[in-house]
Structure 1
Amino acid sequence: MKILCLYGYPDYNKGDSAICLGAHQLLKSIYDTEEIYFANFLWPDHPATIRTKAFYEAYNIKTIDIPSRNRTKYEKLTNILVNRDRGVSSFLMEENFDMVISVGGHFLFSKDSDIKEKIRNKVRLLDIYQPILEAKKLGVETGILCQSIGPFNKPDSIIRKIIDNVDFIITRESASYNEIRNKHKDTLASIDMAYFMSIPQVKKRVLEIDGDYVVLNLRKVLASGGYQVADDMFSKQNEYFARLTRELINRNKKVLLISQVTSSDPNDPEVDTILHEEFKSKYFKEESDVKVVKEEYSEYELIDIYKHADALISTRYHGLIFCILASGNPIGVNLSGIGHKLVGMFNDLDIVNNYIELDDAIISKAVSKTINLIEEKNKYNKDKYIESNFEKIKGLLLG
């Protein structure tokens, strides 16, 4: 069995790399094969590709370069019209893959507010899924493996084409399954690939903190494609975390702002540390119990940090997954209308109360609820959750 996975992203975002580490482990367990390749999303000499190759090489995971990753905007727009990429088609025939799948992430949703954004989203989706469209024309098995899907605010021809050209769709939580189950006949609700990572034992605690601590994580960019939090919601996020932090300090807890996302571009708005430093400077400049942790931690180090925290209050989906893998106390905060993946995952784990819907919440009530969740940790069975979903995925893929 020879499998092409789209894509092997660099570990700038630890959630992206965790998806790939887990996907490799899952597919290797199901198919008993070493022929699993992760396509590089960008061209061979791009800094992100160089970092990607180095990261996966350390885990003995194969990466592969595919054609058409360095196209101009004009070439990408033309691709929408012709809907063919013969370079990718030739590549797939030469490599003779048995399966081409898109792994993890959240790409298929319609959130377009104007024509410019609509075109941008179509170009982005074709850039991601074109190898699947070409594979389907060649009779190769295709699929979507453990992604979030939706919401769909309006019909979209490109999204419809992608859905029609995959043999199976496995979502990573039940809310996405409810979005897609009536649009594709072979669909399954499961979990995120990151849950299947092999987690090594940490011999020594990553962080030695004097006293109890809580970890916070803010964000500005939503999902894939660079969609940003609206200004009013971003302000609401900051006010919520500021009031929460003051309450935590009053309860003699340390507050750590820890990044999950870095970048080769120090000005990238997705980098958490930039937001954390701005937050600290604005609200807690002289407060020693509030610390911006600037170190870049691995996926496994983050798991260890969350294991010993009183809670992780996070706007990031994979940060919450790391916390669950640590058997910690995950509290999810949704900032905009694509947070159904948080609701879906928490509902599947039977801890849906651990979710703060900041769109609708009055700040004081949101803070009060969060404090209660920190003090009264809800129980969940992560091992049963992972094991049962492994069997479900295996049954569909081999069925």
Structure 2
Amino acid sequence: MVDYLKKNYPSKKIFLLADQRDLAEYTFEKKYNFTAYNWTLYDKISIIRSKDSLVTNIIKESSCFFDISGYAFSSSILNKFKFKNFEHSLSYLMSIVVAKNFSIPYFILPQSIGPFDYPLFYRKILKFLSFYILKYPRKIFVREKKYLDDLEKISGRDIVNFKDIVLVGEAYDLKNIYKERPVISEKNILNDSVGVILNRKIFDRIGADEFFDVYDLVIKKLLSKNKNVYIFRHSYEDLDLCISLKSKFGHNENVIFFNDDFNCFELEKIISKLDFVIASRYHSVIHAYKNKVPALCISWANKYYELLDYFSQLKYLFDCRQKINKEELSKSLDSLLSNYLLEKGLIGEKMEEVRKEYSISSLFKF
């Protein structure tokens, strides 16, 4: 996104408003060629209440907002406190209120939105607020069709279905993104190799025993078929899970753990060299398909279903919100082991369709 904006609007400065945890993870000030600031619900309320701040002054001078939240406007954010869960949706809407307060154009770029399975009281509040607030954005793009109708009903406006930005993205100019062009590390990947990419959201939903039982089954089957298994993370949240999973296979030289903090370009290079991946991070599947690499996917949200459905890969999808049938999982893995070359071809054909039908530039035809 930053690369596209810098290429097309070179005179504009780019500021990222993001969750504190994301800012801590990526050390933005040191790495990236744009500036980032905290963007909490408290920050938004303070700005609306006319509290002067550096961020307020930046917003006043801004040309527009581009919302690239990913997955923030939904009841699927797991939290044991119901209001804390609902707070995520309130915070999402408050970003739009801030923009409206200063008459700054607002665009919601392709992301997952919904479901809204809150208790009745919270649903009524959300419906009331959404009807007025969601009329303000100039454009709203969503990745999945499932909740598109619901969103149109609660917002009273048209919503556009569009593929993920990363999936349709073009070649990047790294100097637009980084302060200093990074050296993209090249990992030597052995032939006959499979990647395992975990996701803490799966762990949180099914618990430790079930989580490690599933991956124990998968890795043992891969080893029995003489595959090398690479375990690596797609997010800082998953590091401890990767370490724990690797420890279960002790000194087995065919189970390799990368402890590196890879950037997205390095991750994509690794994934592109694998036969296929066992993946739970949404964008790990995106990176895989972009490089014609099949995925056996263990999922936690509807966004995975629509992605795999589009690529005719639903036979390799297992939703952790329903109990994972290990016998079916084993059969599915057997099928992928036998047919991954065929699946590569099918995914490649679909990617050609994506490139013909979608482009990032079409998002900016207002």
Q: How does the TM-score come out when normalised to structure 1?
A: 0.73
- The alignment status of 1:84 with 2:48, answered yes or no, reads yes
Q: For residues 188 and 214 of structure 2, what CA distance do their matches in structure 1 show? A: 27
- The alignment status of 1:97 with 2:62, answered yes or no, reads yes
Aligned residue number for residue 41 of structure 1:
18
- Alpha carbons of structure 1 residues 117 and 140: separation in structure 2 relative to 1, 3 Å: same
Q: Kindly state the Cα deviation for residue 92 of structure 1 after the two structures are TM-superposed.
A: 5.8
Aligned residue number for residue 170 of structure 1:
141
Q: Kindly state the Cα deviation for residue 355 of structure 1 after the two structures are TM-superposed.
A: 1.9
- The alignment status of 1:317 with 2:289, answered yes or no, reads no
Q: Kindly state the Cα deviation for residue 292 of structure 1 after the two structures are TM-superposed.
A: 1.9
Counterpart mapping for 1:355-370 below 5 A: 355-358=317-320, 359-370=322-333
Aligned residue number for residue 294 of structure 1:
259
Q: For residues 194 and 247 of structure 1, what CA distance do their matches in structure 2 show? A: 31
Aligned residues: 341
Q: For residues 229 and 207 of structure 1, what CA distance do their matches in structure 2 show? A: 30
User: What one-letter code is carried by the residue in structure 1 that aligns with 2:171?
Assistant: S
- Alpha carbons of structure 1 residues 96 and 24: separation in structure 2 relative to 1, 3 Å: same
Q: Quick one: which of 274, 278, 290 aligns to 2:244?
A: 278
- The alignment status of 1:145 with 2:118, answered yes or no, reads no
Aligned residue number for residue 205 of structure 2:
230
Aligned residue number for residue 359 of structure 2:
390
Return the structure number with greater strand share: 1
- Alpha carbons of structure 1 residues 172 and 111: separation in structure 2 relative to 1, 3 Å: closer
Q: For residues 159 and 110 of structure 2, what CA distance do their matches in structure 1 show? A: 11
Q: Helix, strand or coil: the match of 1:216?
A: strand
Counterpart mapping for 1:19-98 below 5 A: 23-27=1-5, 32-35=9-12, 37-41=14-18, 48=24, 51-57=27-33, 62-63=34-35, 65=37, 79=45, 84-87=48-51, 91=56, 95-98=60-63
Deviates more, 1:380-389 or 1:319-328: 380-389
Aligned residue number for residue 16 of structure 1:
none
Q: Helix, strand or coil: the match of 1:110?
A: coil
Q: Helix, strand or coil: the match of 2:318?
A: strand
Per-residue CA shift, 1:243-273, capped at 9, x if unaligned?
11111111000111111122xxxxxxx2x22
Aligned residue number for residue 189 of structure 2:
209
Q: Helix, strand or coil: the match of 2:188?
A: coil
Paired residues of 2:142 and 2:160 also in contact (CA < 8 A): yes
Aligned residue number for residue 11 of structure 1:
none
Q: Quick one: which of 166, 169, 186 aligns to 2:158?
A: 186
Q: How does the TM-score come out when normalised to structure 2?
A: 0.79
Q: Kindly state the Cα deviation for residue 69 of structure 1 after the two structures are TM-superposed.
A: 5.3
- Alpha carbons of structure 1 residues 64 and 243: separation in structure 2 relative to 1, 3 Å: closer
Q: For residues 156 and 194 of structure 1, what CA distance do their matches in structure 2 show? A: 34
Q: Helix, strand or coil: the match of 2:62?
A: coil
Q: Quick one: which of 227, 231, 240 aligns to 1:257?
A: 231
Paired residues of 2:65 and 2:104 also in contact (CA < 8 A): yes
User: What one-letter code is carried by the residue in structure 1 that aligns with 2:96?
Assistant: I
Q: Kindly state the Cα deviation for residue 113 of structure 1 after the two structures are TM-superposed.
A: 8.8
Q: Helix, strand or coil: the match of 2:65?
A: strand
Paired residues of 1:40 and 1:52 also in contact (CA < 8 A): no
Q: For residues 246 and 48 of structure 1, what CA distance do their matches in structure 2 show? A: 36
Per-residue CA shift, 1:144-190, capped at 9, x if unaligned?
11110111213252474353443321012333535524334231111
- The alignment status of 1:121 with 2:85, answered yes or no, reads yes
User: What one-letter code is carried by the residue in structure 1 that aligns with 2:224?
Assistant: N
Q: Kindly state the Cα deviation for residue 281 of structure 1 after the two structures are TM-superposed.
A: 2.4
Q: Kindly state the Cα deviation for residue 84 of structure 1 after the two structures are TM-superposed.
A: 3.4
Structure 1, unmatched stretches of 5+, are: 1-22, 223-227, 263-269
Q: Kindly state the Cα deviation for residue 27 of structure 1 after the two structures are TM-superposed.
A: 4.2
Q: Kindly state the Cα deviation for residue 299 of structure 1 after the two structures are TM-superposed.
A: 1.1
Q: For residues 136 and 209 of structure 2, what CA distance do their matches in structure 1 show? A: 41
- Alpha carbons of structure 1 residues 93 and 309: separation in structure 2 relative to 1, 3 Å: closer
Q: Helix, strand or coil: the match of 1:108?
A: coil
Q: Helix, strand or coil: the match of 2:274?
A: coil
Comparing both chains, which one has the higher relative contact order based on Cα–Cα distances under 8 Å and sequence gaps of 6 or more? 1
- Alpha carbons of structure 1 residues 346 and 88: separation in structure 2 relative to 1, 3 Å: farther
Structure 2, unmatched stretches of 5+, are: 175-181
Q: For residues 204 and 144 of structure 1, what CA distance do their matches in structure 2 show? A: 31
Deviates more, 1:339-348 or 1:91-100: 91-100
Paired residues of 1:149 and 1:171 also in contact (CA < 8 A): yes
Q: Helix, strand or coil: the match of 1:215?
A: strand
- Alpha carbons of structure 1 residues 157 and 177: separation in structure 2 relative to 1, 3 Å: same
Q: Kindly state the Cα deviation for residue 109 of structure 1 after the two structures are TM-superposed.
A: 0.8
Return the structure number with greater helix share: 2
Aligned residue number for residue 13 of structure 1:
none
Q: For residues 352 and 85 of structure 1, what CA distance do their matches in structure 2 show? A: 48
| RMSD of aligned alpha carbons | 3.6
**Identical-residue share of aligned pairs (%):** 17
User: What one-letter code is carried by the residue in structure 1 that aligns with 2:281?
Assistant: R
- Alpha carbons of structure 1 residues 36 and 122: separation in structure 2 relative to 1, 3 Å: farther
